Amino acid sequence: MPTRTIAGKTVTVNDDGFMTNPGEWSKEIAAELAKEEGLPVLTDAHWKVIEYCRQDATATGKAPTLRQITNGAGVSTKDMFALFPKGPAKKVARVSGLGKPEGCV
């Protein structure tokens, strides 16, 4: 598995750039990944979604889909696209240190 350094920490990633070990994730890494995704600042609304995704992934073993996020976190699809433009489920999974959600291209 390839590795890369994010926020001063070496982490394992897959060929698509998603972290492969959620245990290596930190809030500092999330902030760096968010910047790479065009999100210069993570607001409380971003963190609510990120924390939900990490909790759901811990319980299920995989990143949640957009529908699971909107239902579970209580955030509308419209708000998800405002928070994480152009592919919100994929972006939030990457920032959350999770694998690519099933069904994402």
Domain chopping of the chain, boundaries: 3-95
Q: For residue 90, which amino acid is it? A: K
Calculate what percentage of the chain has a pLDDT beyond 90. 90
- Report DSSP letters for 35-99, one per residue: HHTT-S---HHHHHHHHHHHHHHHHHSSPPPHHHHHHHHT--HHHHHHHS-SSHHHHHHHHTT-P
The pLDDT mean for the chain works out to: 93
pLDDT in tens, 60-95: 999 999 999 999 999 999 999 999 999 999 999 999
Q: Is the pLDDT of residue 105 over 60?
A: no
Q: How far from the centroid of its chain's Cα atoms is residue 95's Cα?
A: 3
pLDDT at 104: 58
| Under 8 Å between Cβ of 98 and 18 | yes
